[in-house]
Amino acid sequence: MGADTEDHMEVEDHKEVKVEAVPESRLVYDGFSPDYLRIYYGRLFPYAEMYKWLSYGHDGKHPGCDASIMGRREFSFTLEHDIYIRYLSFHDVSEMEATIKSKCPHKIDIGALYNVEPAKRTAYAGGSDRVFAPVERELVFDIDMTDYDDIRTCCSGADICLKCWPLMNIAIKILDTVLREDFGFEHLLWVYSGRRGVHCWVCDARARRLSNEARSAITRYLTLYKGNENTTKKVSLTGPALHPALSRAYEICRTYFEEHILPNQELLNSEGHFEKVLELVPDESVRAQMRDRWQDNRRASVAKDGISASRWKQLKQALESKKVTPSVRRSLEEIIFSYTYPRIDIEVSKHMNHLLKAPFCIHPKTGRVCVPIDPQDCDNFDPTNVPTLAQLLNELNAEGVKGGSECRDLDKTSLGAPVRLFQTKFLEPLQRANKAEITALHQEKLQEVSAKTSLSW
């Protein structure tokens, strides 16, 4: 993210570009460029769906609507050359669309809903009795693949592949289950970050109104992996049995560990890797026994199942033996959790005023769209096959060559399916809940007015 700058800084306006279908024979799009981005914002970005989401039912004229909702929501833009503009807001979908098309942001971040319009915040500074403060914000989570670099052997940094992506599937499944079953939240939006991780937006009214203290408490409840690069043991389990939430998560973690993480990352194939696992076993005799067997390098006997899988069976047998202490047996669970349990960016979740990248942005480093993920089908999500900006524009060109205008541009491209997923799996159930809440609140206000009127007589 670029350095913070005030929203009044002078930024040269982007010239409007007339968007026309370009015959594929004349132009083939590749990579990422501001010109391509203007076409994307001009023809494909789902403004209506985004506005319906963030207005939470307050986008109509029916009784009970608060017309100020979107005008108090903070957006920030990162423009070309890392020019960063905060405290933007829009009064309606037309203003939102016109501003995005005009500024052509390389990234859009969504912030909190404030007590006043962000542009008027200066009136609430300098000793005033009034304070500019956030009043609502989705409960958000950010899981970044770089936080797993100590266990990944296939990739590092911003790189990802299908061998390490199951780590994100684990995070999605565990967090989605905990947030729904333990906290009762229903309206969760999972989004691919466009490069190396996933975001979760919890959009229930109750979640949006949580205090910073409550957000911190939920984050602590979801945090198991602790420590830094200098800490050998980052998962420590206490008590005679696992907490019910951890017991439920363990079944997910164990399955993914044995079927994906262990073989994909070759965790026990070499001495350099298996020593990191053995460091988590608090019994030198067990560690010595495993080293003796594994350094003997009898690969012929383990070739059928794979080296890591065979060695893991041997280690499990040793750790589950009745001859070892309870703490040593517990290390089996600690190893699995250490290599699989979600690693949340705590700072993103615990403060109401934190900004997070908007869905359907284009990541400038990869050109990929930040598309929604169905948590019930996340195993089939392939981050390497996500639509890219260049791909979408080439699809538009191909459709332009074929002709026909019976459907909108969005549905002519591979972005149509992710937007439909957003609409059907997330937005429609959320809109029903929004309508019910607004109607209920309006009825309460009418009853209060009626009660006061009758009392006054």
- Specify whether 279 is catalytic: no
Distances (CA, A) of 75 to 189, 299, 320: 18, 57, 53
**Which residue among 144, 176, 395, 399 is the active-site one?**
144
- Residue 53 has φ and ψ, to the nearest 5°, of -60, -60
**Which residue among 142, 176, 399, 409 is the active-site one?**
142
Q: 200-223 as b/e, with b when 16 or more CB fall inside 10 Å?
A: bbbbbbebbebeeeebeebbeebe
User: Rounded to the nearest 5 degrees, what angle is found at the Cα of 333, between the Cα atoms of 254 and 273?
Assistant: 80
CA dihedral 87, 91, 97, 99 (to 10 degrees): -40
**Residue found by looking up tokens 């008027």 in the block:** 120
**Residues 165, 309: Cα–Cα separation, whole Å:** 19
**Residues 192, 378: Cα–Cα separation, whole Å:** 11
**Residues 46, 417: Cα–Cα separation, whole Å:** 12
Q: Do 441 and 66 form a contact (C-beta atoms < 8 A)?
A: no
Helices (runs of H) and strands (runs of E) counted in the chain: 16, 9
CA dihedral 321, 322, 326, 330 (to 10 degrees): 20
Burial level of 345, CB count in 10 A (0-12/13-18/19+)? middle
Residue 327 makes CB contacts below 8 A (sequence gap 6+) with: 282
**Residue found by looking up tokens 């970050």 in the block:** 193
- Specify whether 377 is catalytic: no
**Which residue among 49, 59, 74, 138 is the active-site one?**
74
Q: Is 16 helix (H, G, I), strand (E, B) or coil?
A: coil
**Residues 320, 411: Cα–Cα separation, whole Å:** 55
Q: Do 282 and 327 form a contact (C-beta atoms < 8 A)?
A: yes
**Residues 450, 285: Cα–Cα separation, whole Å:** 78
226-232 — which CB contacts under 8 Å span 24+ positions? Answer: 229/150, 232/279, 232/280
Which residues does residue 362 pair with via DSSP β-bridges, in sequence order? 369
- Specify whether 345 is catalytic: no
Catalytic residues: 74, 142, 144
